[in-house]
Amino acid sequence: MATTACFAKKVALWFEREGVERVADPARLRQMNMAIALAASRWNEFAVEPDAEHRMSAWLDEVERRAVVRRAEARAEAIRLARGWFSDCLGDQSNDAEAK
């Protein structure tokens, strides 16, 4: 559950302030917010499964691929952000396990 807590914090921080600071265009921000919320929701679905990290990575790959094909730049950018946060959280979890 460490990954879930970490990812939730990063998503919450986006909604608290980073999105507004980084994205001046309200329509683009709305699109990014929807993609980030969807990524958080999808992780919550996958988190209880034994292959959760793999499924989430595959889902992020597919969503980004489709966004690029459709030229949905805001969605692709948001998914790349979510992927970075997710990867950071997996790395944090690995570092915590090594420290124990």
User: How much is the pLDDT for 39?
Assistant: 98
Residues in the chain: 100
Q: Could you give the number of structural domains in the chain?
A: 1
User: How much is the pLDDT for 99?
Assistant: 44
Contact 43, 56 (CB under 8 A): yes
**Residue 50, phi then psi, degrees to nearest 5:** -65, -30
d(CA 27, CA 33): 10
51: confidence class by pLDDT, cuts 50, 70, 90: very high
Residue 44 belongs to what domain range?
2-99
Output the six-digit token pair for 68.
């690029």
User: How much is the pLDDT for 100?
Assistant: 43
pTM: 0.86
Quick: pLDDT tens for 11-44: 999 999 877 788 888 999 999 999 999 999 999 9
